[in-house]
Amino acid sequence: MTRVRLLGTGQHLALSSGSNRAPVAPPVAPPVRSGLVDDPRQLMERFIDLFYRRRQVRAAFESCVVRTGFRDHDPSRPGGRQAAIEMLARKLAEPDFFVEVERVFLDGDRAVVHTWVGSGTDRHQRLDLFRIDAGRIVEHWGFDETGRSVCAHSLPTETA
């Protein structure tokens, strides 16, 4: 089982099978209110599992991202929540595209997911910064090591 350390928490996320490391017992889940999770760590565990590991983009958005008012900090990308779901689902469905979660950082209402992404022989690192409010992801910033501030699979800006 692959483990990703949640910096500042002493906890690890169990993300995928394949390693012989012993899994870390998950902490007790916080109370859930109408699908919202009070603990940002629990929210990010769910998002990482659905989005990055299972590649279930729609399920990740439905359970973890605000329905209206979501903001991505790339003004060149038109669209909204539905456009983001469709574009990301297409990208993650590409047979040779891969995403490997390296680590997750949490600090208050902010989470950073550090990944290796690419397709074929193209492999580079990426950081996705999320802001969480009231149990949902409300903002996103994306950066990759190729020098682009937001790469091809970043989320479109929500239109209200």
- Would you say residue 154 lies in a domain? no
Amino acid at 37: V
Average per-residue pLDDT in the chain?
77
Q: Find the domain containing 73 and state its range.
A: 2-144
User: Is residue 153 very low, low, confident or very high in pLDDT (cuts 50, 70, 90)?
Assistant: very low
CATH of the domain at 38: 3.10.450.50
- Would you say residue 130 lies in a domain? yes
Contact present, 109 and 132 (Cβ < 8 Å): yes
- Would you say residue 16 lies in a domain? yes
- Would you say residue 158 lies in a domain? no
CA 63 – CA 149 distance, rounded (Å): 27
CA 128 – CA 109 distance, rounded (Å): 14
Average pLDDT on 73-99 reads: 81
The more confident residue out of 25 and 96 is 96
- Would you say residue 159 lies in a domain? no
Question: Structurally, how many domains does the chain consist of?
Answer: 1
Phi and psi torsions of 84, nearest 5° = -65, -45
Burial 22-54 (b: 16+ CB within 10 A, else e): eeeeeeeeeeeeeeebebbbbbbbbbbbbbbbe
- Would you say residue 150 lies in a domain? no
- Would you say residue 156 lies in a domain? no
> What pTM, to 2 d.p., does this model score?
0.69
Q: Check pLDDT > 50 for residue 16.
A: no
